[in-house]
Structure 1
């Protein structure tokens, strides 16, 4: 006898979307969230973070993002939105429940959380996020660097770096946004292996997400066809490329060696550095699935479009490029959650909305 229809590991945007999809399939899910509230990693992101998609393209199923649909929501707005969404889901959410292990016996999964009674269910959704584990590339000499090393997941604002010599490593949206912000307070270089590519945020006066939705790119289920996620261009509102062209920050190819507090650039020049900040992305934290043998040797889930290829009844929501370009975003997790829940339940007919209603 199972305790629940569905156990969802993770109470961020992916877990909340999975719970909504389960409810519309007539199932009663329970969410296990390690943190103090079901808002995912959003409160831990840097202070100035704003979405690159307008509010109209940044909603979970059943609850439109509030206020002007064309504004770009700030980090704190997203946190408030997720709190509201969780509050109207009509789903049991257990916070402070860090899942340590998932096992399976006779087709039933048992989910073990630290200090809690184990729970059982025929379906487990791993929705602990594709951004749970900061990724730092292995660089020769980094372990001997005597300056300060941090990841973008630890960065909050530029104040502590005033007057420093800083290298930001990366070529994506966060790298450019952080480097540009820091450049107003410190001497900053954006270091990468290939030049940053930019794309206008509002081509022909419309946000890029308008065009993406218009041509159906967001919905294309091609993620499973990619051997590795493609490099994407930085969404530029008009200020980022201009800042780099002005040298604040300057852009250089990746340094070649580290010696104490000094790096060497490809042209042979050496320079003392105070801080190296890696804006090099994240990886999913799914080690609780190790007992199942559901992961590859590098920790990647063995899955096809979110469905485990090793354990029927196990699925994922929120992985980067899980099914589409938008899979790991607010606007994309709902579609992926609906897809995996329908597959897991035999494509039963949806019973309609059971959770959130639009906010007036």
Structure 2
């Protein structure tokens, strides 16, 4: 069995950024992507998804977005961009390769694939994001709901819900964007645990990401936020706040119980609901690392700024709040990838490999 220098698990934005940084550091990464092409989860997001950062702030290192740098790219533009980025990498990209388990054999790793193959590697970078592990909140009766129940990862467009009664659970950018879109064709409630927080998309005429850059906020270490990250406000140029103010959608506290297709609101009122969409975020999809003991009891990585605290040759790229508020974004993942590549190089030198 030949020894691979470093395996990058995942060929989306995080894996591609990691591979680029590793190549620049003189490493020879092999990217293992479960899908048919190295674009990650982007083709599976909802049709109308629009980035909340302009093109000039939404690129990976070494390849700017084409076109107007101040526009907000759509989902399909991101997919095309990642295809171009992958084509520029001098890396071994293997698609249709799903990793099911990573084990340790002394200082080396065994990377087990769904087809039964096992690859040996000096180092592993887990860059699989969270799309494959959607978070579903615990609400009494939700698992027995008889209407249409789905997570935002399975939502595509409003047509299947035309004329229906729909509840969206969540208060983030995706929740508000989906709820506002659906409210044009359905009766929609945005159910949240607290009032929705908004931040202006373009304060003083410049996009918020410009201000993040000039103030250094987007690269500031997050310290204690790593354990208790703050809620990120919804970025808005006005339409979303106006839609909520007009009651399209309306907002209510999260329902307390589900019985069949009935939801009960905190005030005691019950009503029939056709569909519930959970826009409740994601958790790191790294279950394949469980055999290593590299995860905490909740299935999250044990790490400091992307470097495993249990295995010196194991690293992570693309975790939310990995080192800054933009760590899981197109804008921020490149910085974390560079840091991880440098740290892994130090591990290699220390081990004399």
The TM-score with structure 2 as length reference comes to 0.96
**1:353: which partner in 2?**
none
Partner deviation per Cα, 1:307-357 (whole Å, 9 max, x = no partner): 0000011000000000001100001111001001101112999xxxxxxxx
State how far apart, in whole Å, the 2-side matches of 1:269 and 1:113 are.
50
CA contact (8 A) 2:295 2:302 kept: yes
1:79 Cα deviation after fit: 0.1
CA contact (8 A) 1:2 1:122 kept: no
Distance 1:195 1:225, change over 3 A: closer
**1:80: which partner in 2?**
80
Taking only aligned residues, the RMSD between alpha carbons, in angstroms, comes to: 1.5
Partner deviation per Cα, 1:171-201 (whole Å, 9 max, x = no partner): 0000000000000000000001100000110
**1:63: which partner in 2?**
63
Aligned residue pair count: 349
**2:243: which partner in 1?**
243
CA contact (8 A) 1:188 1:249 kept: yes
CA contact (8 A) 1:30 1:93 kept: yes
Distance 1:44 1:314, change over 3 A: same
CA contact (8 A) 2:3 2:122 kept: no
The TM-score with structure 1 as length reference comes to 0.94
State how far apart, in whole Å, the 2-side matches of 1:160 and 1:135 are.
23
**1:4: which partner in 2?**
4
State how far apart, in whole Å, the 1-side matches of 2:17 and 2:274 are.
42
**1:256: which partner in 2?**
256
State how far apart, in whole Å, the 2-side matches of 1:66 and 1:168 are.
34
User: Secondary structure of the equivalent of 1:288?
Assistant: helix
State how far apart, in whole Å, the 1-side matches of 2:151 and 2:181 are.
15
Question: Comparing both chains, which one has the higher relative contact order based on Cα–Cα distances under 8 Å and sequence gaps of 6 or more?
Answer: 1
State how far apart, in whole Å, the 1-side matches of 2:199 and 2:162 are.
30
State how far apart, in whole Å, the 1-side matches of 2:348 and 2:117 are.
31
Large movers: runs of 4+ above 2 Å: 223-226
**2:49: which partner in 1?**
49
Partner deviation per Cα, 1:41-76 (whole Å, 9 max, x = no partner): 000000000100000000001101111100000000
Greater CA drift, 113-122 or 203-212: 113-122
User: Secondary structure of the equivalent of 1:318?
Assistant: coil
Partner deviation per Cα, 1:188-218 (whole Å, 9 max, x = no partner): 0000110000011011110000001110011
CA contact (8 A) 1:136 1:278 kept: yes
State how far apart, in whole Å, the 2-side matches of 1:223 and 1:316 are.
17
State how far apart, in whole Å, the 1-side matches of 2:187 and 2:259 are.
20
1:259 Cα deviation after fit: 1.5
CA contact (8 A) 1:194 1:253 kept: yes
User: Secondary structure of the equivalent of 1:112?
Assistant: strand
Distance 1:73 1:31, change over 3 A: same
1:116 Cα deviation after fit: 4.9
